[in-house]
Structure 1
Amino acid sequence: MESTIPVKNKISHADHIKAEPFRKEPRKTVPHKHKQYFEIIYLTEGSGEHWIDGVKYPIRPGVLFFISHDQVHNWDLHSEPEGFVLIFKNSFVEKSLDRELEMLLQRFSGTTCLQISEQAGIRRMFGLLAEENGGTSDMSVHIKEGLVKALLAKILDDPHFESRRPAVRTDLFHAFTDLLRTGHQAKMKVSHYAALLHTTPQNLNAACRKAAGLSATAVVAEFIMNEARRQLRYTNKTVSEVSLSLNFTDASHFVKFFKRMTGQTPQAYRAAQ
């Protein structure tokens, strides 16, 4: 086991979006994160398991996976896969003049795996994105934006789609979660993040309750717990080292926090994995 979680990068520095057929090899990968990008994977053939943050998802034709850069995942494929991978950075959405693209994307927050019922249209859209992947004309970026927007809307329109979060999102909440996910050292004090976002703790708390049904403190605690679980499961860091990486002043405080949130100590959690 490594001391840190490996980070893989499948998109060049100059590119903001990439779409391609799903690679057939390797069929088994080590747990890893992505380098600051969001990934949507659509599989039309194949079998096996896909592990995301320690949760096993079976692979069946017509499955979609949504993976953010802070999540850890790995594959254990039993048969040859077919499908597509769509990768895009925050910069792709930020550079878009169409704000509906961001609004559609935000509705997938909390969604990791989705088995869809209608496949023909979604497969065509992924195929068109893959065909346009190498496009460099002035119009290519607009074509890609339109196709991504249509793809997201098509997925959202599927009867099997169930968002884990309310559809309402605010710019403040989005900025807050981005701040947590971009490697900013975690702190439990909401006032710390409010100051960075040039707002008040009250405004930040209201934005979190509107968007996620949680207080700002609960959002931070959820983020810290997810990262703690990843490090305990996928690295050989000691509990003290995990505690330090998450900005706890004392390992005993981290142990108490972890036990309060999960009902078990970090050591017990690691032993059960």
Structure 2
Amino acid sequence: MSILVPEFSLYGERQRETVREFLHVEEISARSAARNWQIDTHVHNGLLQLLFVFSGSARIRLDSEEQDYGAAFAVVIPEGVIHAFKFQPGTEGCVLTLDAAGLASASPDGSQMFSVLRGSAEVLALTRDDTAARVHGILEQIKAEFAHPGAGSTTLYVWLVRSLLLLLVRATLRQADAQPDEGMRETAEGFRQMIEQHYLDHWPVSSYARQLNLSESRLNRLCEKRFGRTAFALIQERLLLEAQRRLIYTGVPVSQLAYELGFSDPPYFCRFFKRLSGHSPGSFRGRNRQ
């Protein structure tokens, strides 16, 4: 599959450099000001990126969706998500790029440290209470340590990033207007991770439920409470997202793409795509390529 979207470690740097102590932090203006406050479409592999805007606004593209946002907000960009930014000149904020695997290896709870941010990209409002101020304070500490690292920097980074992630989890829960208990959250995130592994296999909901030791009805209730959609809808959305990515960023013919996505025949794929997106695959590709 020929990917047409640029892949970077840090934007504009094609050769991956070692990220100091598993992370890199810089002001939004560091790369965007010299580029007319615009960061074109690109993707990071192996890195989690968190973007924070405390004043100003930006037009954010995450995969095939594009929308304007005003401060204060955070953008969670998991690895492999195609994204782009167009900032209002003078926008203030910073970009935190994390080698999640490396940082998790230094954390007492390992991969659980980042489990709350797995899945699709999100834009989180930071306008409630003093969330923006507290997030800004933690980022200032990360920036200070990044500029002048010392003994135990990795340990300090782990605890600062953990605190930052917990504040983002709060913002996520508030945005969803839900407070699921720990067991529900872990099961729901486990389902999302399982979708990532098997959506191309076209598993039915019953197969996911069986792997999670749940009934189909209970899995659907959990998904509706946590994500506002049924389990089947989440599976379909992930498959549609992959189809949209490949239509925009690869040159694979629609007929071949249908088989790559696990459909039994191209007409079936075209009906699926039009039902969920409102456009035929060819029309969608043409509109977004323009």
What's the TM-score, normalizing by structure 1?
A: 0.75
2:13 aligned partner: none
Q: In the aligned structure 1, how far is the partner of 2:170 from the partner of 2:231?
A: 30
1:148 aligned partner: 161
Alignment of 1:262 with 2:277, yes or no, is yes
The amino acid that maps onto 1:186 is L
Alignment of 1:111 with 2:122, yes or no, is yes
Q: In the aligned structure 2, how far is the partner of 1:166 from the partner of 1:234?
A: 37
| Number of aligned positions between the proteins | 267
What CA deviation, in whole Å up to 9, does each residue of 1:98-125 have, x standing for no partner?
4796388349966324252543332221
Q: Secondary structure of 1:35's partner?
A: coil
Q: Are the aligned partners of 2:106 and 2:154 in contact in 1 as well (CA < 8 Å)?
A: no
Q: In the aligned structure 2, how far is the partner of 1:112 from the partner of 1:219?
A: 18
Alignment of 1:53 with 2:56, yes or no, is no
Alignment of 1:122 with 2:135, yes or no, is yes
More helix by share: 2
Pairs within 5 Å for 1:33-52: 33-52=43-62
The amino acid that maps onto 1:124 is G
Q: 2:260 aligns with which of 236, 245, 269?
A: 245
Relative to 1, partners in 2 of residues 1:240 and 1:207: Cα closer, same or farther, differing over 3 Å? Answer: same
**What's the offset of the Cα at 1:204?**
8.9
**What's the offset of the Cα at 1:83?**
1.6
Relative to 1, partners in 2 of residues 1:238 and 1:229: Cα closer, same or farther, differing over 3 Å? Answer: same
Aligned-residue Cα RMSD (Å) equals 4.0
1:5 aligned partner: 5
Q: In the aligned structure 2, how far is the partner of 1:36 from the partner of 1:165?
A: 30
Q: Are the aligned partners of 1:66 and 1:111 in contact in 2 as well (CA < 8 Å)?
A: yes
Q: 1:96 aligns with which of 107, 111, 134?
A: 107
**What's the offset of the Cα at 1:151?**
2.2
Q: Are the aligned partners of 1:20 and 1:133 in contact in 2 as well (CA < 8 Å)?
A: no
The amino acid that maps onto 2:164 is L
2:89 aligned partner: 79
The amino acid that maps onto 1:200 is Q
What's the TM-score, normalizing by structure 2?
A: 0.71
Q: Which moved more, 1:259-268 or 1:95-104?
A: 95-104
Q: Are the aligned partners of 1:32 and 1:72 in contact in 2 as well (CA < 8 Å)?
A: yes
Q: Which moved more, 1:204-213 or 1:36-45?
A: 204-213
Q: Secondary structure of 2:40's partner?
A: coil
Alignment of 1:19 with 2:25, yes or no, is yes
**What's the offset of the Cα at 1:131?**
2.0
Q: Which moved more, 1:263-272 or 1:71-80?
A: 263-272
Q: Secondary structure of 2:139's partner?
A: helix
**What's the offset of the Cα at 1:127?**
1.2
Q: 2:74 aligns with which of 27, 42, 64?
A: 64
Q: In the aligned structure 1, how far is the partner of 2:86 from the partner of 2:255?
A: 31
Q: 2:202 aligns with which of 188, 211, 214?
A: 188
Relative to 1, partners in 2 of residues 1:158 and 1:166: Cα closer, same or farther, differing over 3 Å? Answer: closer
Counting aligned pairs with the same residue, the percent is: 18
